[in-house]
Amino acid sequence: MELDGAKEAPREGSSLPGERSPSALEQNFSKILHRLIGQEARRSNSRDAALRDLGALLEATESNRLFEGCDESHRGIPEVLGQVAKALGKYADPPKEEEGGSNGHSEVAKKAAEVGLLFLKLLGKVEAAKNSLVCPAWETGLGHLAGPIYVFSITHSLEKPWTSPKSQEVAGEVLTLLLRVTECSSVAGFLRGEKEDEKGKFIVVMGLLKPHLNKETWKNNPAAKHVFSWTLKQVTRPWLNQHLERILPPSLLISDDYQTENKILGVHCLHHIVLNVPAADLLQFNRAQVIYHAIFNHLYMPEHNLIQAVLLCLLDLFPILEKAMHWKGDAARPTTHCDEVLQLILTHMEPEHRLLLRRTYARNLPAFVKRLGILTVRHLKRLERVIIGYLEIYDGPEEEARLKILETLKLLMQYTWPRISCRLVVLLKALLKLICDVARDPTLTPEPIKNTLLQEATDCLILLDHCSQGQVKDLLAKILLSCEDRTVVSCIRKVQQVSEGTSYDGT
């Protein structure tokens, strides 16, 4: 392709009065655009040639000339450059998920590196025009380029199957230069705007992603969901709520997929929305209920990472849902969403034998007890069975499940102490059995973990003694007469010392 007119002034007299004739430079960019998106684009050699010609044209063009013809009625070269940027981003997009494969991904990484170098040249021209102070129209040009270049840089700077160290490095450089040219100190500032009267580019970016995030198309470009998720998490309150209608549908769509990876990604997006959108906005039009029902069903999936993401999201969603509930003091408190979720969790915990799921459930159980407080008495029988069952099973070197169950038991006794005395014998047996098991543990459990388990179990015994008005101390006195294990005896003596009012240092 000949770079005709790259350094020449636009021809005059070639158009009707009142009409603007495109310059030779604009025509050259239009030709390259046609070769990138037209019929010729199907041939790889044609696209490669178009990329080379674009690089040469940018090299040969003075920065100020890129923004000629930019006025209120015509966008000129900047508009064409914006379309070229979109075409370049599409050229470097990863293939559909079913078309994956390492060969396709390596080809995408190579294309991304080539496109990234072109974007660096283009942004360099914009920066030069900005610094020259003789071309005020550079801002209009940057407005057309910023969105497509941002989407490209995030697509290829994240560590994904379609990226390589080289493509990630180039994409990172593109993002850094974009932030410098737009005078933004961070990606968050770029998206939300760093000045009071500045809108930011979040709406522009979402407009570019929207065609790739509907039910029919969102699997065609596997990068779109990751760009959306990453971008969403950069915008926090108080800026996020104004975009709620744009971000909630894609988050629900991704969460509703059959693949666990997508479910988790969608739940993380919904969790960010819950944390950063005011409760009043989430309660409007029953949005909070929609989120709750969308992720509640995920609790039936036996995937520990998904369960963890869902439970964390629900724990932050409960306060919002309960704002819409009204309790009158003369009636029983209504059952809450937290009650519903805890009931399901306990149902799943009892027969669960997979260690990763057991740890996930146990890890989140204390938060549910704290959330319900004294209302945990509704679930006391089932909690008792779960606690006793989990204390009996060795949980590996870190003993995460048993430590969290002991934490749950301590909270349970603090909140529901009037109901604990009738469960004294059952809980005392379980705690003493745990202490004996840990004291004689032949496994490779580190000593600090064993000491922590013994300490937590001892604290539970002390609380149990308080809840039963000193009955534990009397029962333990009989054990001391026949017990020969020094570790067990040490734990029992600590309980007796505290019960008798002796200072207890917690060691």
What is the reported pLDDT for 29? 84
Please report the pLDDT score of residue 129 as a whole number.
Answer: 82
Q: How far is CA 222 from CA 101, 163, 270, 488, in A?
A: 13, 12, 19, 57
* Helix, strand or coil, per DSSP, at residue 382: helix
Give the pLDDT band (50/70/90) at residue 385. very high
Residue 13 scores a pLDDT above 50: no
- Is the pLDDT at 372 greater than 60, yes or no? yes
pLDDT digits (tens, 9 = 90+) for 254-284: 999 999 999 999 999 999 999 999 999 999 9
What confidence score (pLDDT) does residue 9 get?
41
The domain spans of the chain are: 1-9+21-68+75-94+103-183
Span 341-356, average pLDDT: 95
Average pLDDT for 429-452: 90
Q: Is the pLDDT assigned to residue 505 strictly greater than 80? A: no
pLDDT of the residue at 74: 45
**SS3 sequence of 46-77:** HHHHHHHHHHHHHHHCCHHHHHCCCCCCCCCH
| 184 phi, psi to nearest 5 deg | -110, 135
Q: How far is CA 504 from CA 364, 407, 491, 500, in A?
A: 29, 19, 12, 10
Q: Which two tokens stand for residue 443?
A: 């496994």
Sign of CA dihedral 88, 93, 99, 104: positive
Q: How sure is the predictor about 501, in pLDDT bands with cuts at 50, 70 and 90?
A: low
pLDDT of residue 41: 55
Residues 6+ apart with CB under 8 A from 208: 86, 147, 148, 151
Tell me what the mean pLDDT of segment 220-233 comes to.
95
- Which CB contacts under 8 angstroms, 24+ apart, belong to 168-174? 170/112, 170/113, 170/116, 170/117, 170/120, 171/112, 171/116, 173/116, 173/120, 174/116, 174/119, 174/120, 174/123, 174/149
H/E element, 431:
helix 424-439
Q: What are phi and psi of 446, to 5 degrees?
A: -60, 150
* Whole-number average pLDDT of the chain: 86
Q: What is the pLDDT of residue 327?
A: 60
* CA 267 remoteness from chain centre: 8
Q: Which contiguous run of DSSP H or E holds residue 84?
A: helix 77-91
Cβ-proximal residues to 462 (8 Å cutoff; 6+ apart), any chain: 494, 495, 498, 499, 504
pLDDT band of residue 6 (cuts 50, 70, 90) is very low
Residue 127 · residue 180 · CB < 8 Å: yes
The CA distance from 200 to 202, in Å, is 6
Geometric angle at alpha carbon 93, from 268 and 173, rounded to 5°: 80
Torsion of CA 62, 63, 66, 70, to 10 degrees: -120
What was the pLDDT predicted at 483?
Answer: 78
**How much of the chain, in percent, has pLDDT values that exceed 90?**
60
Q: What is the mean pLDDT of residues 5-9?
A: 44
User: Over 60: is that where the pLDDT of 302 sits?
Assistant: yes
- CA distance to 121, 148, 351, per residue, from 166 (Å): 17, 20, 49
CA distance 273 to 275: 5
| Structure confidence by residue, pLDDT tens digits, 114-170 | 999 999 999 998 888 887 766 666 777 788 899 999 999 999 999 999 999 999 999
| Total-model pTM | 0.89
Q: Of residues 60 and 168, which shows the higher confidence score? A: 168
Say if residue 332's pLDDT is above 90. Answer: no
pLDDT of residue 102: 54
Helices marked H in 284-372: 287-296, 304-323, 337-349, 355-372
When pLDDT is cut at 50, 70 and 90, the band that residue 211 belongs to is very high
Q: Say if CB 349 and CB 358 are below 8 A apart.
A: yes
Instruction: Return d(Cα 281, Cα 263) in angstroms, integer.
Output: 24
Predicted confidence at residue 154, as pLDDT, reads 96
> What is the model's pLDDT at position 80?
86
Name which residue leads in pLDDT, 20 or 143. Answer: 143
Band of the pLDDT at 21, cuts 50, 70, 90?
Answer: low
pLDDT of residue 440 exceeding 70: yes
pLDDT for the residue numbered 19: 46
pLDDT at 195: 76
- pLDDT greater at residue 174 or residue 64: 174
Q: Going by C-beta distance under 8 Å and a sequence separation of 6 or more, which residues neighbour residue 89?
A: 115, 148, 149, 151, 152, 155
| 8 A C-beta contact, residue 268 and residue 228 | no
Q: What is the pLDDT of residues 400-425, one digit of tens each?
A: 999 999 999 999 999 999 999 999 99
Q: How far apart are CA 200 and CA 402, in angstroms?
A: 49
pLDDT of residue 377: 94
